[in-house]
Amino acid sequence: MTSAETTRRRMMGVGLGVLAGVAAGCSGGSGPVRRLRLATGPEGGPYNAFGRALAQAVAASGRRIEIVPVSTAASVDNLRKLGDGSVELALAMADVSEDAVLGREPFPGPTAVTALARIYVNYTHLLVPADGPVRSVRDLAGRPVAAGAAGSGVQVVAERVLRAAGLSGASAPASASASAPASASAPAPAPADERQLGLAASVSALREGSVDALFWSGGVPTPALADLARELPLRFLPLDAHVGALRERHGPVYSAVTLPAGVYGLTEPVGTIGVGNYLLARADVPPGAARDLLQVVFERWRDLLREVTAGARLEPRFAISTGEVPLHPGAAAHYRAVYG
């Protein structure tokens, strides 16, 4: 049993005790409204849409909490803001969240954050013009690639995929790439030219031809990419062959998923890489506030996910699967009290 699993079981076990201790802070009380800042992501992205929808749902619920969305560069930036206390809540990808908790690069040491829920899965998109020369990750050697904004989870997964393919400029283990050169004596390919661009800038760059490929990690469909696909014929490159290498190097936060036929005009499914998204909180967020927030999330999940990812469901057994990131005491109390 991992340390995270041990912590999760212990927290779930004491959940009812925590629940009893914070009953006075539940919704319907007469205390002051607790204001919670939520680090989301850039304008036009799914985190930003989720954050706005959550703030509206909480406001309509009558519970004594207020959610204030804060636009950011996304996952890495959000975890840093949680760590320094400039926000109380954040959305972040699972891989970056585990890096923060375990003190792995790009974080200088362990970050004390907790999870409220795993809310949905990001799909890694790698798209290129359909009439262009790029047909695989290896074809990106030496080419300009929009690889996510600085401080985003997109940048992390893009760099890891390129590293697995031997194109990041950083050495990868010999076994780490499903598409490694067949001969050890073969010359190493030129690294991809990674450009730090957010979603809107990435779309513009691909449309204008200043980059040859665009990485994105988000729900399906992502509106900005759906709009682009209607005006520019696109090819979505399969990435599922790299899942094993990523899991070997970074753990089980990565999984094989499929972009379904029909989205973005795809005529057939495309295998790619899935990464969970967590709703996170500082450990000092009061348990009662955490429970009130989760009640809204589970009551309104259809509305919250509508603009983020199609066909997703939020279920308790999915929500508590937060890997190395421990559950917040209020979250443990909520799941224990409601679902046993």
pLDDT, tens digit, 9 for 90 and up, residues 5-21: 544 544 444 343 333 33
Residues contacting residue 108 through CB under 8 Å, at least 6 positions apart: none
- CA-based R_g, the chain, Å: 20
- Per-residue pLDDT tens digits for 80-113: 999 999 999 999 999 999 999 999 999 999 999 9
178 to each of 159, 162, 166, 188, 301, how far by Cα in Å?
A: 16, 12, 10, 15, 37
- Per-residue pLDDT tens digits for 287-308: 999 999 999 999 999 999 987 8
pLDDT score recorded for residue 185? 56
pLDDT score recorded for residue 312? 78
| Residue 173 pLDDT greater than 50, yes or no | no
71 to each of 43, 77, 148, how far by Cα in Å?
A: 7, 10, 16
260 burial class (0-12, 13-18, 19+ CB within 10 angstroms)? middle
